[in-house]
Amino acid sequence: MPRPILALAALLVATSAAAQRPLPYPVFTPPDVQRAIAAGTRTADGRPGPRYWQNTAAYRLDARLDPATTVLSATGTISYRNASPDTLRFLVLKLRQNIHAPGVPRNRPVTVTGGLTLARLAVEGQAATEVGGRPEPGQYRIDGTILTLQPRTPVLPGATVELDMAWSYPVPPSSGAFRQGQDGEVYFLGYWYPQMAVYDDLDGWSTDPYLGNGEHYMGYASYDVSLDVPAGWLVRGPGVLVNADEVLTAETRARLERAAVSDETVHVVTAGERGRATLAGADGRAVWRWRADDVRDFSLSASPAYVWDATSASVDQTNGILPDAPSRVAIHTLYRPGTAAWERSAEFEKASIEHLSRLVMPYPYPAMTAVEGLIGGGMEYPMMTLVGGARSDQSLFSVIYHETSHMWFPMIVGSNEPAYQWMDEGLTSYDQNWGITDFFDGSAPNRPSVDAWARGRQAHFRLAGTGRAVEPMRHNDRFPIGSGSPQVDPVGGSARTIASYSTPAVMLHALETLVGRDRFLAAYRDYGRTWAFKHPAPWDFFGRMEAGLGQDLDWLWTPTLFETWTVDHAVGPVTTGVDGVRVVVRDLGLAPFPATVAVTYADGRVERQTVPVETWLAGATEATLAFPAGTPVRAGAEGAAPILDVDLSNDVWTSGG
């Protein structure tokens, strides 16, 4: 990796007079990545090149929430720096709240509330005007969730341009929204402001519209944000609350100070203290101000109904990825009292941050928050996750851990989620299996317990080999609509979810088992550190993993990520003779994978041999393994291959038939 472009047609190699099998085609390097390598912004082994660049932004946003009308009104400025070598004649912004506007394309139903009303947009102090056609200098056009602006003067390389804006929108009801909204007492403000689109070295401007199913590709920025709410409400945002003395009572602040150095949960605001733990101005309202740096988005949670728990997580910042990253991370959870399992939410969030800091790399941010409400599952934002519903302890831990893992992928390692959802959901699902195992089993075995990793495996196998599976390397908005319906998938698995979450997680578990946990994690962590606060593509992931493991893995990437091929090894027949024991291994699937077989003898001995992947790559569909002489009672597949095997019933031969 990477390699020159090759024909995608699978090569057919005869293995006998009657048998042929396709071989995995090489993972080719697409033209945009080839151009980036030639330009020096990326390297052939998956690293940022010496000329890698990233555009950045600084946001100052001031918002006011009116619960009586549910309207959020705001003003803001964006200072956008063009670090690219290109002259930007157009600027692109994302208006994601417009998914609730009438007539906007979408791939899932929503409540139409009118979307975002842009009252003002100015560039360098000069007002821009909206047009219906192609914008001329000083004009902009809105197409659904995409705003295209032509400034009067192009933005030169190295230059900074300032935009100022005023806008408003009705916060949609959670019953007709997703990932954000309000239910009358809890407000979660996601995608609430005009955001600069990503301009990168591969595609230029990211102009994918927000259709609903897919998530987002976002650039890194600093934020200075205020939210004006009624007195008595609790507000959480990412980063640091910079005016705590203006909005919190002395007792509330004292409890937060205790929590900041505690390993135990501190009840910062109890049910009986709601409405009395905050301060307010003469107008009966309070303005909360937050700051966050090196983040790709900014969300806010606000409610008068929440209680507030806090503690802190201990993070070893040795080899950390941000200078001055804290060794104590503030942990906050806000929830409505009596919501099942949430009394342990601060404990679960603390455990997640600490475990992931050891598993992947140290958490670099000052805080992490989990808030309850609105949605059925969970949704991640920088330094914050929204998790819905009363749950069991294991269910709540699982969702909190999964969403917290997104702080690493894609919040820190900023992949393009709409184009390659598996790069965040698959890696996060792999992490999640380890988190569940270690938290509930209290130990870290050589690989996750069956209960942990089999969840991903079983979801993968709902569609694997059925003809209804979809390859993970597919744009998020181009998966089959309704793929989770009983008519399409009677067992209830979603092709998009399985392809993006389960299949890549199972692949990573199999690879980890194949190469060994230590080697795998070294390569995995190297990928994360290499691309922290940058924008990797799949070919960068392939390159770093292959460099770390010292082997070409196209035989794994191609069948699993670019195709829907499956592994199916069959063990047997087994024969014995004076020259030893012979075990036939048949490769019945299309995806090649090393096949390790363990033979157990009547005297208790166990011998192991492996059919290397090169045997299958040479076109063979059958191989014979030679074992020492003796009386075999069992021959079975073990190790990595059974993790991916679609039919475990033919993986074992026994002497009793």
Kindly provide the residue ranges of all beta strands, DSSP E only, lying in 322-416, ordered along the sequence. 328-335, 367-372, 378-381, 384-387
**Cross-strand bridge partners of residue 584:** 624
Distance between CA 622 and CA 68 in Å, rounded?
71
Amino acid sitting at position 316? D
Q: Is 174 a residue whose pLDDT tops 80? A: yes
How much is the pLDDT for 482? 59
Q: Buried (b) or exposed (e) across 45-78, using 16+ Cβ within 10 A?
A: bbbbbeebbbbbbbbebbbbbebeebebbbbbeb
How much is the pLDDT for 21? 79
Kindly provide the residue ranges of all beta strands, DSSP E only, lying in 376-487, ordered along the sequence. 378-381, 384-387
How much is the pLDDT for 454? 60
What count of residues does the chain have?
657
Distance between CA 462 and CA 118 in Å, rounded?
45
Q: Is 11 a residue whose pLDDT tops 50? A: no
How much is the pLDDT for 443? 55
Distance between CA 496 and CA 222 in Å, rounded?
33
Q: Is 628 a residue whose pLDDT tops 80? A: yes
How much is the pLDDT for 491? 40
Question: Average pLDDT for residues 43-67, to the nearest whole number?
Answer: 98
Distance between CA 118 and CA 101 in Å, rounded?
12
- Position with higher pLDDT, 505 vs 451: 505
**Cross-strand bridge partners of residue 599:** 607, 635
Q: Which residue has the tokens 């014979």?
A: 624
Q: What is the pLDDT of residues 361-401, one digit of tens each?
A: 999 999 999 999 999 999 999 999 999 989 999 999 999 99
Nearest alpha carbon to residue 304 among 369, 233, 240, 371: 233
Q: Buried (b) or exposed (e) across 557-576, using 16+ Cβ within 10 A?
A: bbbbbbbbbbbbbbbbebee
Tokens of 65: 């929430």
How much is the pLDDT for 264? 98
Percent of the chain at pLDDT above 70? 93
How much is the pLDDT for 349? 98
Q: What is the pLDDT of residues 139-169, one digit of tens each?
A: 999 999 999 999 999 999 999 999 999 999 9
Q: 385: burial class by Cβ within 10 Å (0-12, 13-18, 19+)?
A: buried
How much is the pLDDT for 336? 98
Nearest alpha carbon to residue 27 among 592, 542, 616, 547: 542
Sheet with 622-627, strands from edge to edge, namely: 569-577, 580-587, 622-627
Question: Average pLDDT for residues 219-240, to the nearest whole number?
Answer: 98
User: 20-23 and 11-14: which strand pairing?
Assistant: antiparallel
Q: What are phi and psi of 474, to 5 degrees?
A: -140, 140
Could you give the maximum distance between any two Cα atoms of the chain, in Å?
A: 97
Using only C-alpha atoms, the chain has a radius of gyration, in whole angstroms, of 27
Q: What is the pLDDT of residues 511-560, one digit of tens each?
A: 999 999 999 999 999 999 999 999 999 999 999 999 999 999 999 999 99
Q: Which residue has the tokens 């075995």?
A: 445
Tokens of 529: 């550190």
Q: Is 13 a residue whose pLDDT tops 70? A: no
Distance between CA 95 and CA 631 in Å, rounded?
71
Whether cis (ω within 30° of 0) applies to the bond prior to 238 is no
Range with the poorest average pLDDT among 19-33, 233-247, 435-449: 435-449
How much is the pLDDT for 486? 40
Distance between CA 214 and CA 207 in Å, rounded?
13
244 CB-near residues (< 8 Å, 6+ apart):
253, 256
Whether cis (ω within 30° of 0) applies to the bond prior to 2 is yes
Q: Is 14 a residue whose pLDDT tops 90? A: no
Tokens of 625: 């393994």
Range with the poorest average pLDDT among 187-196, 338-347, 460-469: 460-469
How much is the pLDDT for 488? 43
Instruction: Report in angstroms the alpha-carbon separations of 274 from 111, 186, 300, 434, 532.
Output: 31, 14, 19, 37, 39
How much is the pLDDT for 481? 72
Question: Average pLDDT for residues 327-339, to the nearest whole number?
Answer: 98
- Contact at 8 Å (CB) between 353 and 315? yes
Mean pLDDT of the chain: 93
How much is the pLDDT for 447? 52
Q: Is 18 a residue whose pLDDT tops 90? A: no
How much is the pLDDT for 560? 98
SS3 sequence, 44-104? CCCCECCCCCCCEEEEEEEEEEECCCCEEEEEEEEEEECCCCCCECCEEEECHHHHHCCCC
Q: What is the pLDDT of residues 57-102, one digit of tens each?
A: 999 999 999 999 999 999 999 999 999 999 999 999 999 999 999 9
DSSP per-residue string spanning 125-168: TEE-EE-SSSPPTTEEEEETTEEEEE-SS-B-TT-EEEEEEEEE
Nearest alpha carbon to residue 352 among 283, 299, 428: 428
Q: What is the pLDDT of residues 577-606, one digit of tens each?
A: 999 999 999 999 999 999 999 999 999 999
Query: Band of the pLDDT at 489, cuts 50, 70, 90?
Result: very low
Q: Is 10 a residue whose pLDDT tops 70? A: no
Q: Is 620 a residue whose pLDDT tops 80? A: yes
Query: Band of the pLDDT at 178, cuts 50, 70, 90?
Result: confident
Question: Average pLDDT for residues 460-481, to the nearest whole number?
Answer: 92
How much is the pLDDT for 656? 82
Nearest alpha carbon to residue 461 among 264, 649, 603, 251: 649
Tokens of 121: 């947009």
Range with the poorest average pLDDT among 433-437, 448-452, 482-486, 533-537: 482-486
Question: Average pLDDT for residues 308-334, to the nearest whole number?
Answer: 97
Query: Band of the pLDDT at 494, cuts 50, 70, 90?
Result: confident
Instruction: Report in angstroms the alpha-carbon separations of 51 from 47, 84, 155.
Output: 11, 10, 20
- Contact at 8 Å (CB) between 561 and 425? no
Query: Band of the pLDDT at 487, cuts 50, 70, 90?
Result: very low
Q: Is 612 a residue whose pLDDT tops 70? A: yes
Kindly provide the residue ranges of all beta strands, DSSP E only, lying in 255-327, ordered along the sequence. 266-269, 285-295, 300-303, 307-314
Query: Band of the pLDDT at 214, cuts 50, 70, 90?
Result: confident
- Contact at 8 Å (CB) between 286 and 295? no
Model confidence pTM above 0.85: yes
Question: Average pLDDT for residues 253-268, to the nearest whole number?
Answer: 98
